[in-house]
Each structure stands twice: as structure tokens, then as C-alpha cells.
Amino acid sequence: MTHDVKKHEDGMSTATATKAPHGDLSGGHHAPGRVGGGLFDPKQLIKSFPDAVKKLDPRVMIKSPVMFVVLIGSVVTTVLAVKNPGDWFGWAITVWLWLTTIFANLAEAVAEGRGKAQADTLRKAKTDTVARRLIGRNEERVPGTELRIGDLVVCEAGDIIPGDGDVVEGVASVDESAITGESAPVIRESGGDRCAVTGGTKVLSDRVVVKITTKPGETFIDRMINLVEGASRQKTPNEIALNILLASLTIVFLLAVVTLKPFAIYAGADKQTSMIVLTALLVCLIPTTIGALLSAIGIAGMDRLVQRNVLAMSGRAVEAAGDVSTLLLDKTGTITLGNRQASEFVPVKGTTEAELADAAQLSSLADETPEGRSIVVLAKEKYGLRERHQGELAHATWIEFTAQTRMSGVDVDGRQTRKGATGSVVAWVREQGGTVADDAETLTDRISQAGGTPLLVAVKDDKGARVLGVIHLKDVVKEGMRERFDELRRMGIRTVMITGDNPLTAKAIAEEAGVDDFLAEATPEDKMALIKREQAGGKLVAMTGDGTNDAPALAQADVGVAMNTGTSAAKEAGNMVDLDSNPTKLIEIVEIGKQLLITRGALTTFSIANDVAKYFAIIPAMFAVAYPSLDKLNIMGLASPESAILSAVIFNALIIIALVPLALKGVRYRPSSADSMLRRNLGIYGLGGLVAPFIGIKIIDLLLSLIPGIG
């Protein structure tokens, strides 16, 4: 960004946000209420068990067609076992079918339980407050629940902010630890992009007037509670499509199993194909593994974002992040460190460095931005100029920076000094009847091409108005950004840097950082147009923003990440909110989205590949009596038909509980092309899903054979 934009740090920003190394998406900043004990805490299992039992309600189970079939099968085998109480095999199958159903519910209950623990902590932050509502110039005390959109409330030091809103008057330090988990207070002030406040946070100093922007019960904390509890979670398009596929496979296997009965009667294997055996076969063949874990994978994906202090307003947004083709990234604070520092003073011909340094320092005394402070320090350290203070120049007239003039400076002792953007300073000099040195433009172009930001310094005294030289501001590219962009490129994602800098500076920074493209001197309309162009080409676009002028683009983007420090309009427009207000987190959000999609695909592959071993276990057990040649298919050498069928059912149940940690944590993501990722996952989860059941069923069979009457 050029000098026409001043950034205010709020004490929390990127400096306090922690970031895990690339590829490791399990760490990072934790939101309040984070459940301890790792991803698969045994205590969490026990605590979630009652919820898993409650989910046996058919009205709940029918939402997952695969597991609903397993529930019906469990009921059928229970009835048959009760009719024949002496049949140990029927009771064993029944018990393990019920366990299969409960294990599936347990996976979802554990995932939901982690969110409920976070919600409990958030509820503690949600307190009933008394608001000081403004009626004209008078105040009245009313319960926070009676506030409506548009009401003005007064908050002073020690007050709890009664509802979400925007500061319309004053500036205050606010404690947002209840929301973000950060102990460092933040500054909220009227106007600009840091005016939004959240209900339940505490004012630490000063006085502000807040305009309420949400209804009671619809505050940010209420939405957070609903999201982390999963109460508002809706199935995403991909999840719905996969559910339809799983339901179709279930119908196919159901028809196949139903036709086996008349075929068995014809072949004389009626006793070996009882209803209990056919039910066991059906449950083993339908994709129960992914059917059981599908919901848990989606919940855990959103939970991983919550652990990073990112709230996704819908699962659709998380999935979209995984399919993003274009990333729009702000330059300042995202790609670069953001605090530009003065690195050198470059005088024009006929001016000395000392004269330029003196004028630059003088014009920066009232400039409290990091850039302004760095100019004063550079003049003091490099040129030995004593740092002066505004108090020593009480008779001076200070010229404040504005977005319109894009200049600041001072008038003192009949001498006017100005510094600012090149075009603005040149225009000021000419308005004063002065001239601009021939080499001024050359110097500014050279600094811009080097990736720096040039600020012209000019004076008007008894010699007339003239340019003295250029201040070279450097904005340092963050360490490791080129490597991150290389990773994104390998993933097939195009990166576009958005900046208010001039095209020359933007090009230099873009080349140094390694982004694919850049948008210089960007306006809100330019951002919107760029997003629409990308989407018109069939691409999904992600971007970050914090200001009201970012709201249209955030709403248009497929993944719009609003900063928590930003305005209410930005947070309403985006489909994600970053509580840490760390723009670089957008890259991690994309990685988490891809991890969600990869996990779902990997476990689906594993689940379908699982079926092969069960064919070799159950089919010979059912038909080897009628067709002895089928015994050759018993390649695992299973002890008996009962042991073979029971081993397959037990493995089918245990593999669900064994894969719960993977569903919650997610498959490890490594940036690579789609082809190499597919080959890798087919090798691990396709081949693994093929081999693991052979080993698992054989081990269970060996254990069962030790029990008298089974082997």
C-alpha cells in the first residue's frame, strides 16, 4: 500500500497469532474451550457414549441411509435371536451389529462433544447485562435483551458491551479474551475498519458509544455457540452427493443379498443362508465404514478451523476452501511485514543528504505511523540529527495527513515542509510556483522498481518551492512466503496480490514474493471485477478483508474471510471470521479445506476396498457346503463358517472405532498435484483397505477358534 493508507495496530494482530509449520494442520492457536487430552481422549469416549445411544432414534438414524439399514438389520437379528435363545451365533451377530451402530454414532458424538465443550466455555462469557441506552442526550438502563438494531448504548471502563455493534463515538481499549482467547487488549474506535465490537467483551478504558447491529439471540457469541455445537451444521453439496452414492450402493447390495436366498434354496444351502447370515452379509458389504464416519469428518473439519480461531459459517465454505483455484491476498501485513521502514534518504541534485534528512525528520514529528517513526529514527541514527519534539515547536502549524491530500508536514519560522506521495507533493510544489528537479521522477521510479515506496520531500522558503529528495521506504517480504506460494502453485492455485501501491512497486514485490499476478492501485470495484472474472472462468475464489468497502467482494468470493477486527458489514458479508485477524491464515484455511476433502475421499476409498476380503470370508461360508469347489476361495483358511461370518462382522465394527482418530484429525496433507495425490491415496488407503481386512479377519478368526464350540 502507498503512503495514503495509515494502519493502526490494535495490540492483537498477527504478532500474537501462532502458526503451525506448513503441512502440519493439527497445531496452532486454540480457541477458548479447546478440549484437552488429544484427538482421541478415552474420557471423551465415555462422556460421548450416552449421546451415541440417544442417536439410535430412527428419526436421527434415517439421515444416514447406510447406518439406518444397519439399525434395521440389528432389530431383525434381535427378534430372531429372541425367538431362538439357544442360538449363540445369532446372539453374537446381534451384539456386534448393535455395536456397529453404536460405534458409528459414537464417532459423530465424539466430534460433536468437542464442540459442546467449546460452547460451554462460550456460554460462560455470555452474561445478562444491563445496557445504558441513549435516548436523545439522556441515558436509560434497560436489560441487554431489550436492545434492538439501531439503538445507541454507552459503554465505559469496566462495562460489559451488551450486544454486537459498531463504535460511532470515542475510542476505547477492549478485552476480547472471552471470544479470541487472547489476553492482550485491542483498540476499538469510531470510523475506519476497527470499529466493530462484540457483545460479551469488556471495556477496559475510556468511553465509547456503540450502535447495536444485531438482534438479541443473534449475536456473534450466539452464532459461535450454534456453530461449534453443530446445531446449525447443514450437509454440504459434496456430502449430500456422497450420501446419495452410498445409498445407491446400499440398494445394489440389498438387491444382491435378497436374490441369494432363492438361489441358496435351489442349491440346497438354505440352512447356511439364514436371515441372520444374510443380514450379516448385507452389513459387511454395504459401505458402513464411510457411512459411519462421514458426519464426523465434516464436523471435525469445522472443528479444526475453530482450533485455529476461525469460525466457518457453513460447511459449504470449508469445502469451497478445499476447491479454491484463486487466492486474493493483501500485500501489506500478509505478504509483507506491513510496517515499512525508512532505509535511506536520496537527495536530488543540488541538495545535500543532511538537508534532506533534516526536512524529512521535521515533517515526520507529528506522524505517529510506523513509517513516520522510522524516518525520525533514521535521521537521528544515520545523520546524527537530534530528535526534536512537537513541544519544542509550539509555534509551528502541523499539517495532518489525509487521504485526500496524501501529504503531511509542518509550517514553522516562515518555512513550509511537506512529505508524501509523489503525485501529491509534485502538485503542491507546482501550486506554490516552484519547480521539480529533473531527477526526482528518475529517483522515485528507481525506488519503485526495487520494490520500495518513494515519499517525496519538498520545502517552500525564501528560495521558493522545490523538491529536496526522496525517502526510500522498504516493506520486507515475510520469510518463507515464496516457498508457501510455490506450494500453492503445485496445488494448482493461482495467487494474486492486491495492493494500493503503484504498478512498479507492486511488480517488484510480486516478483520477490513469487505470486502469480498482482492488482495495483486496487479499488473495491477493481477487487469485485477481478473476482467476477475468475468465477466466470469456472474458478472458486478466496479473499480476506476487514473494511466496509471489502464487504461486496467478500460476499462475492466463494470463500470470504473477514477479520474479527473489521467492521460488522465485513463480518456479515464473509462466510468465515478469523478471530485472530491474521490475513495469512487464508493459506492455512485452504489447506484445511483440502484436508477435509482428502480425508473424505481417502476413507471412502478405504471403505469400498474393505468389501473384497469380506467376500472371501462370507461367500465360501455360505455356499461351500453346496459347492465344495468354493472352499478354494477361503484363502484365509478360516476355521469354520460361523467363525468366518462372525470374524467379518466383528472386523466391520472394530474398523469404525479404529478409524475415528483419523476422521477427527484428518489425513495428513502434503501440497502436490492432483495426480500424485490420487496415486498416493490409492496406494495407502486403496491398497490398505484391500489388505487390512484380510489380516484383521484372520487374527479375529484365530482368537475365536480358541473359544470352545466356535473353532
The DSSP string of 349-399 is: TT--HHHHHHHHHHHTTT--SHHHHHHHHHHHHHH-PPPP-GGGGTT-EEE
Distance CA 474, CA 512 (A): 13
For residue 452, give Cα distances in angstroms to 75, 335, 344, 402, 477: 73, 14, 11, 21, 11
Q: How far apart are the first and last CA of the chain?
A: 76
Domain 341-476 has CATH 3.40.50.720: no
Phi, psi of 135 (to 5 degrees): -120, 100
Comparing CA positions, the residue from 136, 139, 112, 95 lying closest to residue 51 is: 112
Q: Do 98 and 53 contact (CB within 8 A), yes or no?
A: no
pLDDT tens, position by position, 260-277: 888 778 777 766 678 898
Query: Can you say whether the dihedral through the CA atoms of 311, 316, 317, 320 is positive or negative?
Result: positive
> What type of residue is 692?
A
**Nearest 10 degrees: Cα torsion 338, 343, 348, 353:** 140
CB within 8 A of 607, min separation 6: which ones? 287, 288, 289, 290, 291, 689
* Extended strands (E) in 483-522: 494-498, 517-519
Query: 310-335+479-579: which CATH topology?
Result: Rossmann fold (3.40.50)
Residues of the chain scoring pLDDT < 50: 1-39, 231-232
Distance CA 572, CA 549 (A): 13
3-state secondary structure of 330: strand
* Extended strands (E) in 397-504: 397-399, 407-412, 415-420, 453-461, 464-474, 494-498
Distance CA 522, CA 497 (A): 10
pLDDT tens, position by position, 279-315: 998 999 899 999 999 888 888 887 788 778 788 877 7
CB within 8 A of 392, min separation 6: which ones? none
Q: What's CA 43's distance to the chain center, in Å?
A: 27
Right CATH number for 148-214 from 2.40.260.10, 2.70.150.10, 2.30.42.10, 3.40.50.300? Answer: 2.70.150.10
Phi, psi of 166 (to 5 degrees): -120, 140
Distance CA 560, CA 556 (A): 8
Residues in binding site for Mg(2+):
546, 550
Distance CA 143, CA 400 (A): 42
Distance CA 650, CA 98 (A): 11
DSSP 273-317: G-HHHHHHHHHHHS-HHHHHHHHHHHHHHHHHHHHTTEEES-HHH
Question: Quick one: pLDDT at residue 503?
Answer: 85
Distance CA 614, CA 627 (A): 18
Orientation angle between helical segments 237-267 and 275-285, nearest 10 degrees: 150
The DSSP output letter for 708 is T
> What type of residue is 571?
K
The domains spanning 310-335+479-579 and 341-476 adopt the same CATH topology = no
Q: Do 420 and 447 contact (CB within 8 A), yes or no?
A: no
Distance CA 102, CA 54 (A): 9
Distance CA 145, CA 126 (A): 12
Residues in binding site:
367, 371, 401-408, 419, 546, 550
For 379, half-sphere exposure in the C-beta direction (CA atoms, 13 angstrom radius) is: 24
Q: Do 121 and 308 contact (CB within 8 A), yes or no?
A: no
Orientation angle between helical segments 641-665 and 88-125, nearest 10 degrees: 10
Distance CA 237, CA 239 (A): 5
CB within 8 A of 180, min separation 6: which ones? 12, 31, 32, 309, 564, 579, 580
> What type of residue is 462?
D
Q: What are the extents of the domains in the chain?
A: 42-113+230-303+593-706, 148-214, 310-335+479-579, 341-476
Q: What's CA 478's distance to the chain center, in Å?
A: 21
Q: Which residues are catalytic?
A: 330
For 293, half-sphere exposure in the C-beta direction (CA atoms, 13 angstrom radius) is: 31
Phi, psi of 616 (to 5 degrees): -70, -20
Comparing CA positions, the residue from 158, 156, 132, 159 lying closest to residue 143 is: 132
Residues in binding site for ATP:
367, 371, 401-408, 419
Question: Quick one: pLDDT at residue 94?
Answer: 95
Comparing CA positions, the residue from 521, 508, 517 lying closest to residue 485 is: 517
Question: Quick one: pLDDT at residue 117?
Answer: 65
> What DSSP element (H or E) covers 188?
strand 186-189
Query: Can you say whether the dihedral through the CA atoms of 307, 310, 316, 320 is positive or negative?
Result: negative
Distance CA 566, CA 584 (A): 15
Phi-psi region for residue 150, left (φ > 0), alpha (ψ -120 to 50) or beta? left
Residue 640's Cβ-count burial label (10 Å; 0-12, 13-18, 19+) is middle
For 259, half-sphere exposure in the C-beta direction (CA atoms, 13 angstrom radius) is: 6
3-state secondary structure of 2: coil
Q: What's CA 196's distance to the chain center, in Å?
A: 21
Distance CA 134, CA 529 (A): 41
Question: Quick one: pLDDT at residue 391?
Answer: 53
Between strands 196-197 and 130-135, the pairing is: unpaired
Between strands 494-498 and 326-330, the pairing is: parallel
Q: Do 497 and 594 contact (CB within 8 A), yes or no?
A: no
Question: Quick one: pLDDT at residue 228?
Answer: 62
For 375, half-sphere exposure in the C-beta direction (CA atoms, 13 angstrom radius) is: 30
> What type of residue is 14?
T
pLDDT tens, position by position, 172-181: 888 887 666 6
